[in-house]
């Protein structure tokens, strides 16, 4: 006999798929890169209202890009709560909330970086682009990247090594897993912000890289292959700075 499907786990996964789909619809209709002003030598004053809007939009983009690769982790955690009764909804929500909050908050430094990029000269922006690409490419080979990627690729090992009971434990585990995820992908998000101006083509490309290296067999090698591609592209931009404007134009 086969075990009856875990209804709550199915509901959790379906809900997250629907949230992800809604985030992609919003992102494709209103891309963040539509108003790219980097390299325009404009000095913009930060404001709380602008930061809130930016970070909120960043959170939607992160939901679209990161939730697909987090589904195995969240689904497995939901399955471990099968006997928790009414508290199950609370613990699963706490686990997911910690993940979403951290990725959304990561948009705040990106907001200030975006403002800073507006003030630089186009040629300086080209070299910033080259550094971002090469830096992200080299990071793909780093020990930190590989360690974080192992945790992201092994949900069961993560739960066994970080288990905490109750909703506080769920919050702590979600927070820890979110940090591994951020540690794994932060350099790719810098590329998205600096090189791709957060336009749709770069969003789709980087989302595919993130999903492939976390979910597909041989993900470590996919990460390294992406690292080679990013490094080579960065070196090309360093030699031919005009390519930076082309890359940004492709994101519109």
Largest distance between two CA atoms of the chain: 68
Give the pLDDT of residue 39: 53
Please state the pTM of the whole predicted model. 0.87
Give the pLDDT of residue 122: 84
Tokens 């919003």 appear where? Answer: 26
Give the pLDDT of residue 2: 44
- Spell out the per-residue pLDDT of the chain, length 252, in tens: 344 456 767 788 888 889 999 999 988 887 765 555 555 555 567 788 989 999 999 999 999 999 999 999 998 898 888 766 667 788 988 999 998 999 999 999 999 988 888 888 888 889 999 999 999 999 999 999 999 999 999 999 999 999 988 889 999 999 999 999 999 999 999 999 888 777 888 999 999 999 999 999 999 999 999 999 999 999 999 999 999 888 887 766
- Sign of the four-CA dihedral 222, 224, 227, 232: negative
| Cβ(62)–Cβ(106) below 8 Å | yes
Give the pLDDT of residue 218: 93
What would the two tokens of residue 117 be? 């990029």
How far apart are alpha carbons 250 and 227 in whole angstroms? Answer: 20
Buried b (16+ CB within 10 A) or exposed e, 202-231: bbbbbbebbbbbbeeeebeebbbebbeebb
């Amino acid at each position: 006999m086969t075990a009856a499907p875990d209804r709550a786990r199915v509901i959790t996964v379906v809900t997250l798929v629907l949230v992800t789909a809604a985030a992609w619809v919003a992102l494709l209709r209103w891309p963040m890169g539509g108003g790219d002003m980097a390299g325009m030598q404009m000095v913009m004053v930060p404001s709380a209202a602008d930061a809130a809007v930016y970070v909120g939009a960043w959170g939607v983009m992160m939901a679209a890009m990161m939730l697909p690769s987090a589904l195995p982790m969240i689904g497995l955690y939901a399955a471990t709560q099968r006997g928790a009764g009414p508290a199950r909804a609370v613990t699963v929500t706490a686990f997911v909330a910690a993940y979403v909050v951290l990725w959304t908050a990561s948009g705040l430094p990106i907001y200030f970086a975006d403002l800073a990029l507006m003030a630089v000269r186009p040629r300086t922006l080209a070299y910033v682009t080259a550094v971002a690409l090469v830096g992200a490419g080299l990071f793909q080979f780093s020990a930190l990247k590989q360690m974080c990627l192992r945790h992201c690729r092994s949900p069961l090992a993560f739960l066994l090594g970080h288990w905490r009971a109750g909703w506080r434990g769920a919050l702590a585990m979600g927070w820890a897993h979110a940090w591994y995820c951020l540690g794994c992908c932060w350099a790719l998000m810098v590329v998205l912000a600096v090189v791709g101006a957060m336009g749709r083509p770069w969003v789709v490309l980087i989302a595919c890289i993130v999903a492939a290296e976390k979910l597909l067999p041989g993900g470590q090698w996919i990460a390294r292959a992406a690292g080679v591609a990013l490094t080579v592209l960065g070196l090309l931009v360093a030699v031919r700075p005009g390519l930076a404007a082309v890359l940004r134009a492709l994101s519109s």
